[in-house]
Amino acid sequence: MALLFAGLILVALVTSLMLALPALARPTLPFGVRVGVQRVGDPAVIAARRFYARLTVVVAALAAAGSVLALLVTGSAVAIGGIVTVVLVADLLLFYRAHHLVRAAKLAGGWAAERRQAVTVDTTFRTDPVRVPWSWGLPVLAVTLLTAGIGWARYGGLPATLPPFLGSGAAASSQRAPTTVLSAFQPVIYQLAVALIVAASVVVVLRARPDLDAARPKGSARRYRVYLRGVAVMSLLSAACLNLSLLLAALRLWEIVTPALVWQVAVYVPLVALLGGWVIWEIKVGQAGHRLPALPGEEREDAKVGQRDDDRHWFLAGAVYVNRRDPALFVHARLGSSSWTLNLGHPIAWLLLGALIALAGLALAGVVDLPEKHSVL
């Protein structure tokens, strides 16, 4: 019964996230297709939204029934995992089909030619950029220093061997290795890596090209500033949650606490809080901050132009961007709310991807050791 309940929860979670995906996007970006403000309520767009929502719910209902049958026949958690995977793939295919429907209607109706195409540029994002709110990084620093202090105090009393550290907890006691400074302080190393990666990502995002609406230049620029600062704050708080989870896992690694299911659940509490915080924030602000409250007059703002953003440069329903003529390396993705993507038409993007492929190749060859996947219970 517990396994069935977990399977139904996973199906409901995936379905909820997929239903929220188009709802959080800008009204002018239905299913990753750029449309003018005059076409937001077009019957073709509304039909695509209904098509996607209805079939997504149908897939969820079929998956719920399939979960019951799979457990009755096999009684295996693998079957539940397979069903959840099928739900995710089916929902993504439905999203892509809705994307195709809107794009076909746009091409057939000549929507792109209805307004003069223009681009909004706000130079204040360069002369007076959104600053990194470093004060929100203090919790990350505090948790990391606390972990390092506990580890330093405990290091002299550690046993001769330690279980490998998996990030979310330690492996079974039978899997142990000699205690060294590197193995003992792995949680702190992971915390430092999280802090550096998040800080670098925040700096890059704040310097990326703003995603402004040419039809509403003033309102979209103001909202985008608020949105960018919110993204930075949420990212730094996310790093604090991740490092807090690593601290709780480190207490188990260092045998300060007794391994138990209750403690393992506690390790995941910061991660659940992190996910919940992002969901609430995304619902509040929306893509590029379009859900933020408007100032007087902003709702009536209309420059009578369309956003110059060619759909031909976007692939996989707005997830992949390729434009050799665009000098920007990072651009705000059309798919998702707070997401950025590489411009694969930029040479540096291929250098970054090449480095990742090289790292993966070294890992497969055994030259570089990556964290292994183990059961955390």
Give the tens place of pLDDT for each residue, 195-209. 999 999 999 999 999
State yes or no: pLDDT of 173 exceeds 80. no
Mean pLDDT in residue range 39-54: 96
Of the listed ranges 139-148, 210-219, 334-343, the one predicted with least confidence: 334-343
State yes or no: pLDDT of 306 exceeds 90. no
The larger pLDDT score, comparing residue 376 to residue 223, is at 223
State how far the alpha carbon of 253 is from the alpha carbons of 147, 238, 340, 371, in Å. Answer: 12, 23, 35, 15
Compute how many other C-beta atoms are within 10 angstroms of the C-beta atom of residue 122.
Answer: 17
* Tally of CA atoms within 13 A in the half-sphere of 339 that contains its CB: 15
Indicate the average pLDDT of the chain. Answer: 88
The larger pLDDT score, comparing residue 55 to residue 119, is at 55
DSSP 368: S
Mean pLDDT in residue range 326-335: 89
Predicted pLDDT at 174: 60
Mean pLDDT in residue range 162-178: 69
Band of the pLDDT at 296, cuts 50, 70, 90? confident
pLDDT digits (tens, 9 = 90+) for 236-245: 999 999 999 9
State yes or no: pLDDT of 15 exceeds 90. yes
State yes or no: pLDDT of 377 exceeds 90. no
Q: Could you give the percent of the chain with pLDDT greater than 70?
A: 93
Q: What are the φ/ψ torsions at residue 186 (nearest 5 degrees)?
A: -60, -40
State yes or no: pLDDT of 322 exceeds 50. yes
Tokens describing residue 255: 């045998």
Predicted pLDDT at 314: 93
Burial class (CB in 10 A: 0-12, 13-18, 19+), 235: buried
Task: Evaluate whether 120 touches 212 at the Cβ level (below 8 Å).
Answer: yes
Task: Evaluate whether 237 touches 277 at the Cβ level (below 8 Å).
Answer: yes
Instruction: Give dist(CA 339, CA 205) in Å, integer.
Output: 9
Task: Evaluate whether 162 touches 183 at the Cβ level (below 8 Å).
Answer: yes
Q: What are the φ/ψ torsions at residue 332 (nearest 5 degrees)?
A: -70, 125
Task: Evaluate whether 315 touches 194 at the Cβ level (below 8 Å).
Answer: no
State yes or no: pLDDT of 369 exceeds 60. no
Task: Evaluate whether 235 touches 229 at the Cβ level (below 8 Å).
Answer: no
State yes or no: pLDDT of 37 exceeds 90. no
Predicted pLDDT at 30: 94
C-alpha dihedral sign at 186, 191, 197, 200: negative
Mean pLDDT in residue range 148-158: 93
State how far the alpha carbon of 256 is from the alpha carbons of 132, 268, 365, in Å. Answer: 36, 18, 36
